[in-house]
A and B are shown apart, each in its own frame.
Chain A
Amino acid sequence: MRPRLFVRGVGLAATFTVLSLTGLWAAGELKPIRREIGTTNAAQVQPIFRREDVRPTLKNPSANAREFFFTRAVYNSGYRWSSWATDYPKADRQFLVILDRLVDLDSYERENAVRLDDPKVRRFPFLYALEVGDMYMTEAEVKGLRDYLLAGGFLMIDDFWGTWEWANFESEIRRVLPEYPIVDIPLDHPIFNTVYNIEEIVQVPSIGNAQGGRTWERDGYEPQVKGIFDDSGQLMVIINWNTDIGDAWEWAESPYYPLHYSTYAIEITVNIIVYAMSH
């Protein structure tokens, strides 16, 4: 490679990066507070949401004795800082409202985000994680998640697309559960009939792609539901790949977001939650 071309390449990349970050910040998704996640790499510092701002504390009396908390896994991410918080907290809140109407479940009506390396995560046997294409867990998070899953916790994965993001997620989950394979979950699995009968796996597009045209992102053309089962055949992790279920909750009220996507997203999530709570 010639030096001039190399310098140009680096310059272009740096410009693109700065523009992207500025855009994201300007969009108001991030607050400019830097906080360390994880304990293994002190130098690894990234900005995240102030948790005290967005996460309900369980000292709140209304959270006492609630059966179900829609809990987001807070994990360390790579270039997309705080990718765990995508669609947060609107998606969570909208989904919880609908969940409360559809299922006779004593669920806490607010969002709940817990770090994977926080022992309190074991208080919440259901976890939702998304954008795992950019997940880079610390060792403490890997251990926390592994113990969580082996103790009986359940993890729902959503909103990651294409080969590259799959490869990243696969390598991350291999760190957590190296001994358990990822397998396809066939449509005749009980999880698709727990409350609603799901007859096909729908590719749920993000709000940006929901207006028509393509529903896929990157090279994630075909939606898939995969899983990781423990030694007893119990489902520990359900992986919704090449689909964005979270966006369908978040924009369920939008007249521009097709209702059938939201319907599917809500139905399959209700099934997953009820299944996770009973199997």
Chain B
Amino acid sequence: MFEFFFKYRPILFEEGVFAFRPTVATYVATILVLVAGVITFRTYQLVRANSRPVDRAVLTGIRFLVLALLVFCLFRPVLVVSRVMPQQNFLGVLIDDTRSMQIADRDGETRAAFVTRQFGGANSQILESLADRFAVRLFSFSSDTNRIESVDTLTYDGTQTHLGQALTRAHEELAGVPLSGLVVVSDGADNADGLPPDSLMPLQAAGVPVFTVGLGREAYTRDIQLTRVDTPRSVLRGAALVVDVIVAQTGYEGQRVSLQVEDEGRIVADEPLILPEDGEPTTVRVRFSATDAGPRLFSFRISPQPGEMVTQNNVRNALIVVEDTREKVLYFEGEPRWEVKFLRRAIDEDDNLELAVLQRTAENKFMRMGVEDAEDLAGGFPRTREELFKYRALILGGIEANHFTPDQLRMISDFVSERGGGLLMLGSRRSFAEGGYAGTPVADVLPVMLDEVTADGEAAFFIETDVRPTRPGASHPATQIAENEEASVTRWPELPPITLVNEIRDVKPGATTLLTSGDQSLVVLAFQRYGAGKALAFPVQDTWMWQMHADIDVEDQTHETLWRRLLRWMVDGVPDQVVVATPQDRVELDESFELTAEVDDANYEEINTSQVSAWITDPDDQLLEIPMDWTADRDGEYSARFTPRKGGLYEVRVEASNDGELLGSDTTYLRVAPSESEFYDSTRRTPLLERVAEETGGRFYTADTVDSLADDIQTVGGGVTVVEELDLWDLPGLLVLFVLLVLGEWGYRRVRGLA
């Protein structure tokens, strides 16, 4: 329609410069027209007849418009455009070679099939029209960019879309030739490097426009996707994992499905869910236990539903290293208490927790249980950081603050903030404010507010209460005392009442309350992150009632479950002296990645001068040593780069030593496998493709609008160009306007009876 009236395509008007090209005859004719105009004006002034002033004004106006149109045409308006010279320029066509191109979301046709049809060979319409005008150079891109002769060589098995890198590579390759532009044919899905901000600058500077052709739908009509699964990289064996899975869907609203978790093929959880509204992600909390030690591949999946357009995004994999270690916990108790007996019994059969108990039986007389040797803790509570920091968690029972030296109080604080350990304070007459902790460094660590206790003769606080979980406590891994959240929430208030002697009503900003008294006025369990570690306040003095009370069946495991989960959560993520990290649990074959290690001495102070090596065992059990160097960016941080050449599971063990003495070691695992990420969020990313086109002066197309690509590039593209002037005086639209004005004048006269 536009071209019918305006003779040329809109892009010419956008890109062209408007100008007049008058001649001498133009000026003569213009004078004649002006004279005619003056005559017209005078005539309308003189002729009165039975016309009103309004009629005369309208008729004069129309007549002037007609004359103005004539003058406009007489001045010979032109559109000055710069057009690419045919066959004088090159054009780079970059075609997405990733797995998401296999998705069939265009009337059953895959995105790859569209590419083959339009860019495939002699009969391909787009490629043919491009080849008529340009010297076309084809590139494929995924995680790498390669020159190809034909799209027939594309395999569509790339696992990442490095769009920025592809543009840079193609531009560099075509740097020595006149380049009209680059065409990107892609869905824009999983742009792995997020299109670095400066990646378009060379193109902008060189005036190379990028024309993007977006494939695929912007939204699926029927699809279920596991958008995100957050799992820890390592857990203790037997740990109860609570994992949030974000599920999004379209077309299946309200449908019941189940989310299954598999541990190396064995189903360990089956969580039913009702699918949320279209496009509204929902979080599904799923619980399972990691019972087998070693690197385990956990799969989270929802079975493909009938009519689903993309089924590959129904599953997410996560590599979790299940550690079979014994984590040391120190429990310091200031007096013989039943908590000691029942806590020890609760975790007695947990092979991954090792509880050392130091119990004061009389002044300066201690009983030790679960210690390493005769010397361990023989002098009472640790006096050196090294002695204390070998534990991962510390429980303080009924021990008053005065028992500790100021150094020891500071050390307990550092145990949490610097060593990253877990601290738990139990309720008693000798703990919290009642134990004189207000104003000490330990009070800073605790998640609760400690009010100074005044000796004003008030009766000591005492309350017997049942317990209930808060909203965070309902789903927190430390407070899961039953097989699922619902059962756990129901179970808590059913437990027998316990007693509190510490009146704690407020937690600090940033702390989380997990359990409260039945009337919700008192804090029963709260925690906060403090520095590198975490601190918990559990002001109950007799959790053993949840084991001994007559209402509790002798076979009941609630008390055991609570303490195991609580302590496991406390020691979870507590760092060793050497901690190795990789950016992800999976990398691509031949993809270089950075291995980092944090190295501390026994006091958990960073060391920059230690000798650090990574021992990497590949899937064929070949061992390779890679030295790691201090990064100089951060104290205690060492790094090395590694490129895996085989697919499969790699073991990475990092050892650090200082002056010949081993500081420690840490092991992690890494999967070298193709990514499934191309199938997630695999709808067309129009905004990204539009941005690339817009910022470089190109255009964005879809499969339906791509027909004008060749013509547009010829108009917009760079390279060797020629300036053309396109006449506008003969636009059909102007003629139509002229006729309409004349007819309008005639019609007005007829209506007003002036003809």
Binding site for B on A (CB under 8 A): 61, 64-65, 67-68, 102-106, 119-123, 125, 147, 150-153, 194-195, 232, 234, 273-274, 276-279
- Is the beta-carbon distance between B548 and A123 smaller than 8 angstroms? yes
A279 with B361, Cβ < 8 A, contacts A65-B462, A65-B499, A125-B548 known:
no
B633 to chain A, nearest CB (A): 49
- Is the beta-carbon distance between A122 and B340 smaller than 8 angstroms? no
Whole-angstrom CA separation of A125 from B551 in the bound complex: 15
- Is the beta-carbon distance between B548 and A278 smaller than 8 angstroms? no
- Is the beta-carbon distance between A120 and B550 smaller than 8 angstroms? yes
- Is the beta-carbon distance between B554 and A150 smaller than 8 angstroms? yes
Whole-angstrom CA separation of A153 from B541 in the bound complex: 17
Q: Indicate if B338 sits at the interface (CB-CB under 8 A).
A: yes
Partner of B554, one of A103, A151, A279: A151
Whole-angstrom CA separation of A105 from B550 in the bound complex: 25
- Is the beta-carbon distance between A273 and B336 smaller than 8 angstroms? yes
A194: nearest chain-B partner, CB-CB: B367
Q: Which residues of A contact B369 (CB under 8 A)?
A: 278-279
Q: Indicate if B544 sits at the interface (CB-CB under 8 A).
A: yes
B213 to chain A, nearest CB (A): 70
Whole-angstrom CA separation of A123 from B363 in the bound complex: 28
Whole-angstrom CA separation of A64 from B500 in the bound complex: 10
Q: Indicate if B337 sits at the interface (CB-CB under 8 A).
A: yes
Could you mark each residue 548-572 of chain B with 1 if its beta carbon is under 8 Å from any beta carbon of chain A, else 0? 1111101000000000000000000
Q: Indicate if B652 sits at the interface (CB-CB under 8 A).
A: no
- Is the beta-carbon distance between A67 and B550 smaller than 8 angstroms? no
Whole-angstrom CA separation of A153 from B549 in the bound complex: 10
Size of the B side of the interface (Cβ < 8 Å), in residues, is: 38
Whole-angstrom CA separation of A123 from B340 in the bound complex: 16
Q: Indicate if B81 sits at the interface (CB-CB under 8 A).
A: no
- Is the beta-carbon distance between B362 and A103 smaller than 8 angstroms? yes
Q: Which residues of B contact A273 (CB under 8 A)?
A: 336
Whole-angstrom CA separation of A106 from B335 in the bound complex: 8
Partner of A67, one of B338, B551, B554: B338
Could you mark each residue 739-755 of chain B with 1 if its beta carbon is under 8 Å from any beta carbon of chain A, else 0? 00000000000000000
Whole-angstrom CA separation of A230 from B368 in the bound complex: 22
- Is the beta-carbon distance between B341 and A152 smaller than 8 angstroms? yes
B residues 484-541 with Cβ under 8 Å of A?
A: 499, 501, 541
Q: Indicate if B349 sits at the interface (CB-CB under 8 A).
A: yes
| A-B contact list, 20 entries, CB within 8 Å | A64-B460, A64-B499, A65-B429, A65-B501, A67-B541, A104-B334, A106-B398, A119-B550, A119-B551, A125-B341, A125-B548, A150-B554, A232-B345, A273-B336, A274-B361, A277-B336, A277-B341, A278-B336, A278-B357, A278-B367
- Is the beta-carbon distance between B344 and A278 smaller than 8 angstroms? yes
- Is the beta-carbon distance between B336 and A103 smaller than 8 angstroms? yes
Q: A65-B460, A104-B334, A152-B341 are in contact. List 10 more A-B contacts (CB 8 A).
A: A61-B459, A65-B541, A103-B336, A103-B361, A123-B549, A125-B544, A151-B552, A195-B361, A278-B359, A278-B367
- Is the beta-carbon distance between A277 and B367 smaller than 8 angstroms? no
- Is the beta-carbon distance between B362 and A102 smaller than 8 angstroms? yes
B7 to chain A, nearest CB (A): 95
B363: nearest chain-A partner, CB-CB: A104
Binding site for A on B (CB under 8 A): 334-338, 340-342, 344-345, 348-349, 357, 359-363, 365, 367, 369, 398, 429, 459-460, 462, 499, 501, 541, 544-545, 547-552, 554
- Is the beta-carbon distance between B549 and A105 smaller than 8 angstroms? no
- Is the beta-carbon distance between B550 and A122 smaller than 8 angstroms? yes
- Is the beta-carbon distance between B361 and A151 smaller than 8 angstroms? no
- Is the beta-carbon distance between B349 and A232 smaller than 8 angstroms? yes
Q: Which residues of B contact A120 (CB under 8 A)?
A: 550
Whole-angstrom CA separation of A105 from B362 in the bound complex: 8
Q: Which residues of A contact B342 (CB under 8 A)?
A: 152
B689 to chain A, nearest CB (A): 66
Whole-angstrom CA separation of A190 from B134 in the bound complex: 93
The 4 A-B residue pairs with the shortest CB-CB distance in the complex, in nearest-first order = A119-B550, A150-B554, A122-B550, A277-B336
- Is the beta-carbon distance between B335 and A67 smaller than 8 angstroms? yes
- Is the beta-carbon distance between A274 and B335 smaller than 8 angstroms? no
- Is the beta-carbon distance between B336 and A67 smaller than 8 angstroms? yes
A60 to chain B, nearest CB (A): 12
Q: Which residues of A contact B459 (CB under 8 A)?
A: 61
- Is the beta-carbon distance between B549 and A278 smaller than 8 angstroms? no
Q: Which residues of B contact A122 (CB under 8 A)?
A: 548-550
A277: nearest chain-B partner, CB-CB: B336
Q: Which residues of B contact A274 (CB under 8 A)?
A: 336, 361, 367
B359: nearest chain-A partner, CB-CB: A278
Whole-angstrom CA separation of A67 from B550 in the bound complex: 18
- Is the beta-carbon distance between B341 and A232 smaller than 8 angstroms? no
Q: Which residues of B contact A121 (CB under 8 A)?
A: 550
Partner of A279, one of B341, B362, B460: B341
- Is the beta-carbon distance between B548 and A67 smaller than 8 angstroms? no
Q: Which residues of A contact B338 (CB under 8 A)?
A: 67, 125, 277
A105 to chain B, nearest CB (A): 5
A261 to chain B, nearest CB (A): 23
A231 to chain B, nearest CB (A): 10
Whole-angstrom CA separation of A234 from B551 in the bound complex: 23
Whole-angstrom CA separation of A123 from B345 in the bound complex: 17
Q: Which residues of B contact A194 (CB under 8 A)?
A: 361, 367
- Is the beta-carbon distance between B361 and A276 smaller than 8 angstroms? no
Q: Which residues of B contact A150 (CB under 8 A)?
A: 554
Q: Which residues of B contact A68 (CB under 8 A)?
A: 336
- Is the beta-carbon distance between B548 and A153 smaller than 8 angstroms? yes
- Is the beta-carbon distance between B337 and A67 smaller than 8 angstroms? yes
A154: nearest chain-B partner, CB-CB: B341
Q: Which residues of B contact A123 (CB under 8 A)?
A: 545, 548-549
Q: Which residues of A contact B361 (CB under 8 A)?
A: 103-105, 194-195, 274
Q: Which residues of A contact B367 (CB under 8 A)?
A: 194-195, 274, 278
Q: Which residues of B contact A103 (CB under 8 A)?
A: 336, 361-362
A232 with B336, Cβ < 8 A, contacts A151-B547, A274-B367 known:
no
B551: nearest chain-A partner, CB-CB: A119
A104 with B462, Cβ < 8 A, contacts A65-B501, A122-B548, A278-B341 known:
no
A46 to chain B, nearest CB (A): 25
Whole-angstrom CA separation of A126 from B218 in the bound complex: 71
A107: nearest chain-B partner, CB-CB: B336
A104 with B547, Cβ < 8 A, contacts A194-B367, A278-B340 known:
no
- Is the beta-carbon distance between A152 and B362 smaller than 8 angstroms? no
Whole-angstrom CA separation of A159 from B59 in the bound complex: 133
B550: nearest chain-A partner, CB-CB: A119
Whole-angstrom CA separation of A194 from B367 in the bound complex: 7
B267 to chain A, nearest CB (A): 32
Interface centre among A64, A65, A119, A234 (most CB of B within 10 A): A65
